[in-house]
Amino acid sequence: MTLRIATWNINSVRLRADQVARFAAEQQPDVICLQEIKCREGEFPVNAFRDMGLPYLKIAGQKGWHGVAIASREPFEDAPVLDVCREGHARCVAATVRGVEIQNFYIPAGGDVPDRTVNPKFDHKLDFYEKLTAEMARRDPKAALLILGDMNIAPGEFDVWSHRQMSRIVSHTPIEIEAMGRLKDSLGFVDLVRQAVPDPQKLFSWWSYRAADFRQSNRGLRLDHLWASPGLAEHFTGEARVHDTVREWERPSDHAPVTADLAL
């Protein structure tokens, strides 16, 4: 039985609940993990999610900023929420669905200057990665664990529109790529999307609003990821994709949803 899991930085869930409903109807995900919901728990459009067939919710909200949520078609169990954000932001929410622990993250973007000694936001981003890496190093690689979300780093040469130009820009600098690599190695995580769509194919999940036509400029980044523990990766069907057509919808998020299918 397939479990389809989606991750999507929705950039305001109240503004785009109708788009989530359309995506849910078209792609039939069993679980949708959202980032940047930009509302408190009591402001989340619960009824809209019930109507779209995703009534089971785990929400970590924050007024006007950040915020993450998990919406599921079926009941889930609690999973430990990891204390890896030193600022106390709502950047992590977790649940266990069909025995799979899902950790949904909105990792800090890091500001504009890739130097942690002068930029507190960049230091916060690296600190988040360091704490998360230490946590994952203590986990059992055979356990069914999926970490996903807007991880705000495009790790590979083919995950950015220009490796040469982006290597000096926050999201693709060497120090960030190294930090992400240490997290991946901590448990031997498998990047499910790159398993399905190997290099050297270019693959993006985010495009700036600054471009009048994101397709024409195509200056994208792959910032949204689904990583499986070795034990869970054995259940990957090989089907994962970025739903970039969603970025064409009216008033879209700057991120497109990404899905992966597991046989459970």
Is the pLDDT score of 243 beyond 90? Answer: yes
Mean pLDDT value of segment 55-70: 97
Q: Estimate to the nearest angstrom the gap between the alpha carbon of 32 and the chain centroid.
A: 10
For residues 78 and 159, give the distance between their C-alpha atoms in angstroms, rounded to a whole number. Answer: 33
Distances (CA, A) of 75 to 72, 179, 250: 7, 34, 32
Mean pLDDT value of segment 125-151: 98
Q: pLDDT at position 205, please?
A: 98
Element at 59 (helix H, strand E): strand 56-60
| Mean pLDDT score across all residues of the chain | 98
- Residue 34 sits in a domain whose CATH number is 3.60.10.10
Q: pLDDT at position 120, please?
A: 98
Is the pLDDT score of 97 beyond 90? Answer: yes
Percent of the chain topping pLDDT 90? 99
Task: Give the Cβ contact number of residue 179 at 10 Å.
Answer: 21
For residues 128 and 153, give the distance between their C-alpha atoms in angstroms, rounded to a whole number. Answer: 13
Task: Say whether 78 sits in a helix, a strand or coil.
Answer: strand
Give per-residue pLDDT as tens, 162-190. 999 999 999 999 999 999 999 999 999 99
Is the pLDDT score of 212 beyond 90? Answer: no
Q: pLDDT at position 112, please?
A: 97
Percent of the chain topping pLDDT 70? 100
Structural domain span for residue 113: 2-263
Q: pLDDT at position 11, please?
A: 98
Q: How many domains does the chain have?
A: 1
Mean pLDDT value of segment 240-248: 98
Beta strands 224-228 and 220-221: pairing type?
A: unpaired
Q: pLDDT at position 197, please?
A: 98
Task: Say whether 87 sits in a helix, a strand or coil.
Answer: coil
